[in-house]
Amino acid sequence: MFRITESSNSSVTFLLSPRNYTQIYNRLKTLLSAEQLALFARPEKLGDTMQWSSELPGNSTDIIALSALSEADKDQVADMLEEQKAAISGILSANSEFESILNQLFSVPETSAIKVLRTDQALVPILTQWGCRLNESDTQTDPVTTLINKPRINSAPVVVSFFYTDGSPATAKEFYIEYLNRESKERTSKEGQYNRGRCKLNSQFTIYDLVDGQQAYKHEFTVSPDGTYVVRFPYLTSATIQVVDQKNRPLADVAVDITVDGQSSTHASDKVGLIQLAKVEAGKPISITEQANPNNNQQHQLAREQNRYTLQVYRPIWANASLKVVDQNGIPQVDYSVVYTDGNESREGITGSDGALQLGQFEEGKAIKVWPKNKPDAAQTHAIQEGTNEFILTIHKDPPKFVKVTLLGYDGKPIPGINMGLKHASQSEQVITDEVGTSTLPFEWFTDKKKVKATGNVKSKNKKGKEKIQRFSESFPFKVDQLAYTIRLKRKRPWWLLLLLLLPLLLLLQCEKTIYVKTVDANTKQPVVGAEVNFTHTKSALYENSRFFTNDNKHDRQPSALNGIAKFEKVKYTVYSWLFKHGSIAQFWAVNNCYSSDTLRPAFHSIKDSDTLTLSMRPVMIAMDFKAVDKADKAALPQTKITIISELGGGRYIDTATTGANGRVAFYRVPKCGRVISVRGEHDGYFPDSIVNHNPGNLLGAIDQKRLLQLQPIRKPIEFFVVDCQTRQPIAGATVEVEFDFNGQKSKSLVKTNTDGQGKGVYGSAYVIALIHLKGYADYYKDGELADQHLVGDFIDSNKYPKDKRTFCLEPEPNPLVFQNIDERTNAPLAGVKNSVTIINGSGMARTIIKESNRDGSFTVSINPGDKVSNISELRPDYEDNTTKIQDKDGMELLKGPADGRIIPLKPKEVDLVFRTIEELTGQVLPDAVLNITVDGKSVSPTNSGTGEFTVKAPASSAISIVASKPGYGSNSSKVNNESVKLLQSAPQPERDIPLKIASQPKPCVEPEASQTNSDFEEEYNMGDPNRKFTVNYDMRSIPDRLIITCGRKNESGKILFDQDLQGPGTIPIDMSTCGNSSWITVKVVANKWAMVLGQDTEWSFQFVCENQ
């Protein structure tokens, strides 16, 4: 042994402290070979110095500084150092004492600490000051790693690219690599790459994955100068195929041929129409074919997730159809002949006493065309839907016509209550005038162009005011195009003799007058603009145009202005007409595209000059039908209340009706030129639907496109419970068939009860207006049901249906045998335990069933006398299997014996959890922390963290809490607080590190940012005070990165407070008083791009620390 060098203890940090370095060296002697141990110099502490010696033969004169070697010799030393480090790491990584300090073990403060011993055979590298780092160093560069990774003639960089077989990068993928006889577990980067550094040319390495503890998907590579290394791992996933009919309802027992990557197999859909495929490889093609119909085929490529495919299979659906014929008023038409066809042949039928006709049975989706016999242009087409189809054929009959005769007195006012006799074409009729002096007779009573004579008696007063009865007799010709007539009584004028003398001259006088006609909306009394007002009267004259005693019909038309008034100017008449034709009738009527009016028939000579007549107009109405359907399945919705609101000229028209069996309803009074404000459909159990704000013209066309109301059925989850009829204990895993009856359409779904100890089943989406019926079955139980049908809307109401009304029981088969799984340590019941129960009967026949325990840990089987029962209970990976408690036991003895004989305990597996107490800011391990550790509420050891790293044994199924404290530091009880041992076991080490904060350390005003790799960063922070002073603690690791701090928010281009390339850790003081009134700052980190180009990783982190916080 000879001394190599001596170092000062004050100039370095001992990374393995507080461990004794001499003791570490002596421990290495017991684990490594002499050749491997030679890599480490023997340490010996002498006061403030440390002496480093070698136990190899030789002397100090044979020691050469690494810098003094040629490049070729340096490469030789690097080769040997790499091989030695790999071999030693492989040995020490299997030792818990050294596993956590391997990286620090090979750390030296500077390159000069790597010594070389020249022997006759080789150059031997020796590490002095191992496990140390310079105090004043601002970098974390590792000289040993730098030497190994240094480009050399006999090495090449190795960067491995990882992909899944679907072509996507395998990011953050864990794998195993074997190199230089050492196996290590690694992880790919976020780009799916792994940088191995430089490796010796022609050396070999193997990459593989572990499947069920066995090596799989091995890839072997040989290092070459320009080598390309690509690894492809399969990504195993699952796929689900839903087989449905054309109505998207699940179909069971449908044979489906499935081919995955050339491998074919046949599957049958289960009770709910599902086919489950497990462990299929993402990226591979999958073909899905209906076996009975090879043309029904789908081709897909398996993705990594969400491989859900739907195979729709056609199954014919037949439905009955009937037709009802009604008129526009909804009155059934009896013995009415109709023709109908489904496209193949036409058939004729006659409606019965209820106006209905049975059409027969047709396939769903077929179109049925129906029309009145001899009226094919009035044909209607209906689509056959599943269930009962009731179609309505509406025919339009002309409404009955009536003729009105109005009786006016001598003063032009109506005379009510007069018994008036009418004679016409050998017919006579006695009528009484109503309150407006009008009597009404059927149109059919009259004959065109025949005279009608009206007679009767009226009361009148003479000049002395004496009342007398006066008989009248008037007549008028009937015209089929005129439905209203006015009879005005005329007084006899005794002064006619005087006029007779002047008549020859007076009768020739011409007069004129102006007549105004105002058109108004009959409902709102608002003016109707643009109506065409027609005016007709008879102009009579003694002599005119070279003719005597003329009677000429005059017709004029004028448009109504903005005020609704039409003006007829200079309407001429003669004195002759006024005297002898005083009762002649004028007619006024108006039309336009949107309104129509009745005919106003005043006596022409009763109209004075500049008189304004009011002509009421009614909107032109059109008929419009609407259809209500279920939005989910497009089925017609009868008994839907539909309300239509229209608007025209400031008036609103509201009508409400209920749909028929075909979901249709017709409205006959929709203003043609108005606006349909809304059409709203409402039905119990459905969300309403509306059509809003349309011109009627926009709603014309096919009803299914323009006037369809689609009401979304309301769905709610339903809950029910299944229990044992005898014990009233819940039954876990029972299958419940939920049968739905929705508008006459029936469907079924299967639901499993859960294992939470309540035997609860949940169906997540049921129509609230559907009827349900529940039937259940389970192994070793007789089938049971919840009696009767139940309305979902009531079933979900806990007041109407408390839990007991939603619970039904299954009667156990004879001799039910109830077992219970418990935790051996806590005696708590275990849910979800897989129990493989084998029962051998007296004849030696065996059957095996799988039962899962519920929340109470219970499961039930049924036995017969002479049965032998064995059971294996499994709850992996947290518990050991119990294969001994129930083995070849007599079933009846178990049934009649004590309950303890049927309790099956499972022993929880214990795992080792490695925790560390660390300093919060630096991450350095803190020794001798005081610990208070509880597992499921029970205290366990250790009570001190020792070197700072400690191990706790605990069952995988338990929960652990740790309170750590240390003088000069605060305590930490939140990091590990009732945490799952199972989750902590698989978590990375930082999740099990317990940070302790120095008591006097200021609190950070902003939480430190997590370290990032190979990425830029920019974020804004509100420091709360424009004059804030704080420091930035940073660590840019070994590769320089640029740190920029500016005043203000992002994109504001504020004042630069700091801008510099930094390397390693450090502190920057920041004063925001120069930022003006802004309390915001922006921090930007620019990662070193050259390092990334060279394949090196650059990492950085920073943290704010504010004053007086």
Q: Answer whether residue 492 shows pLDDT above 80.
A: no
- CATH T-level topology, domain 156-233: Immunoglobulin-like (2.60.40)
**Per-residue pLDDT, 154:** 80
For 971-974, the CB contacts below 8 A with 24+ separation are 971/996, 972/996, 972/997
Q: What are phi and psi of 659, to 5 degrees?
A: -70, 155
**Per-residue pLDDT, 141:** 66
- What confidence tier does 128 reach under pLDDT thresholds 50, 70, 90? very high
- CATH T-level topology, domain 910-996: Immunoglobulin-like (2.60.40)
- What confidence tier does 799 reach under pLDDT thresholds 50, 70, 90? very high
Task: Give the Cβ contact number of residue 560 at 10 Å.
Answer: 25
Extract the tokens encoding 369.
Answer: 């065309």
More confident residue, 248 or 615: 615
Which of these ranges, 177-181, 256-260, 489-493, has the smallest mean pLDDT?
489-493
Q: Answer whether residue 756 shows pLDDT above 70.
A: no
Q: Give per-residue burial for 935-965: e unless 16+ CB within 10 Å, then b.
A: bbeeeeeeeebebbbbebebbbbbbbbbbbe
- Please give, one letter per residue, the 3-state secondary structure of 106-132: CCCCCHHHEEEEECCCCEEEEECCCCE
Q: ∠290-293-296 over CA atoms, to 5°?
A: 65
Q: What percent of the chain has pLDDT over 70?
A: 96
**Per-residue pLDDT, 190:** 84
**Per-residue pLDDT, 1009:** 62
Q: Answer whether residue 803 shows pLDDT above 60.
A: yes
More confident residue, 456 or 1051: 456
Which of these ranges, 241-255, 441-455, 490-504, has the smallest mean pLDDT?
490-504
Q: What are phi and psi of 1074, to 5 degrees?
A: -90, 0
**Per-residue pLDDT, 843:** 78
Extract the tokens encoding 396.
Answer: 């339009």
What is the C-alpha to C-alpha distance for residues 197 and 184, in angstroms, rounded to an integer?
15
Architecture of the domain spanning 318-395: Sandwich (2.60)
**Per-residue pLDDT, 1001:** 45
Q: ∠1076-1080-1083 over CA atoms, to 5°?
A: 120
Q: What percent of the chain has pLDDT over 90?
A: 32
- What confidence tier does 517 reach under pLDDT thresholds 50, 70, 90? very high
pTM of the shown model: 0.36
- What confidence tier does 1002 reach under pLDDT thresholds 50, 70, 90? very low
Q: Answer whether residue 692 shows pLDDT above 50.
A: yes
Class of the CATH-defined domain 715-810: mainly beta
- What confidence tier does 808 reach under pLDDT thresholds 50, 70, 90? very high
**Per-residue pLDDT, 532:** 93
More confident residue, 487 or 166: 487
Architecture of the domain spanning 236-312: Sandwich (2.60)
- What confidence tier does 193 reach under pLDDT thresholds 50, 70, 90? very high
More confident residue, 504 or 122: 122
Q: Mean pLDDT for the chain? A: 86
Q: What is the mean pLDDT of residues 1047-1058?
A: 86
**Per-residue pLDDT, 1069:** 85
More confident residue, 1060 or 869: 869
**Per-residue pLDDT, 1004:** 43
Q: Answer whether residue 43 shows pLDDT above 90.
A: yes
With contact defined as beta carbons under 8 Å apart, do 293 and 261 qualify?
Answer: no
Residues 194-243: pLDDT tens digits? 988 888 888 899 999 988 778 888 999 999 988 899 999 988 888 999 99
**Per-residue pLDDT, 1109:** 44
Q: What is the mean pLDDT of residues 753-775?
A: 80
Q: Tell me whether the CATH fold assigned to 318-395 matches the one assigned to 1012-1106.
A: no
More confident residue, 330 or 375: 375
Q: What CA–CA distances, in Å, run from 121 to 118, 448, 582, 740, 925? A: 8, 142, 151, 89, 42
Q: Answer whether residue 1050 shows pLDDT above 60.
A: yes
- What does the domain layout of the chain look like in residue ranges? 2-149, 156-233, 236-312, 318-395, 402-459+490-531+543-618, 621-713, 715-810, 816-903, 910-996, 1012-1106
Out of 372-381, 627-636, 818-827, give the one with best mean pLDDT. 818-827
Q: Is the CATH code 2.60.120.680 the one for domain 1012-1106?
A: yes
Question: Among residues 834, 910, 926, 850, which one has the least CA distance to residue 878?
Answer: 910
Q: What CA–CA distances, in Å, run from 390 to 234, 323, 356? A: 57, 6, 9
Extract the tokens encoding 860.
Answer: 């039930």
Residues 879-926: pLDDT tens digits? 999 999 999 999 999 988 998 999 999 999 888 999 999 998 888 899
**Per-residue pLDDT, 469:** 85
- What confidence tier does 936 reach under pLDDT thresholds 50, 70, 90? confident
Q: Is the CATH code 2.40.160 the one for domain 816-903?
A: no
Sign of the torsion angle spanned by Cα atoms 591, 592, 593, 594 = negative
Burial of 437 per CB tally in 10 Å (0-12, 13-18, 19+): buried
Q: What is the mean pLDDT of residues 286-302?
A: 93
| Cβ-based neighbours of 1085, under 8 Å, separated by 6 or more | 1012, 1016, 1017, 1018, 1041, 1042, 1043, 1044, 1100, 1102
Task: Give the Cβ contact number of residue 821 at 10 Å.
Answer: 29
Q: Superfamily for 621-713? A: Immunoglobulins (2.60.40.10)
Residue whose tokens read 């650059």: 1098
Residues 12-25: pLDDT tens digits? 889 888 888 998 99
Residues 91-125: pLDDT tens digits? 888 888 888 888 889 999 999 999 999 887 788 99
Sign of the torsion angle spanned by Cα atoms 221, 227, 231, 232 = negative
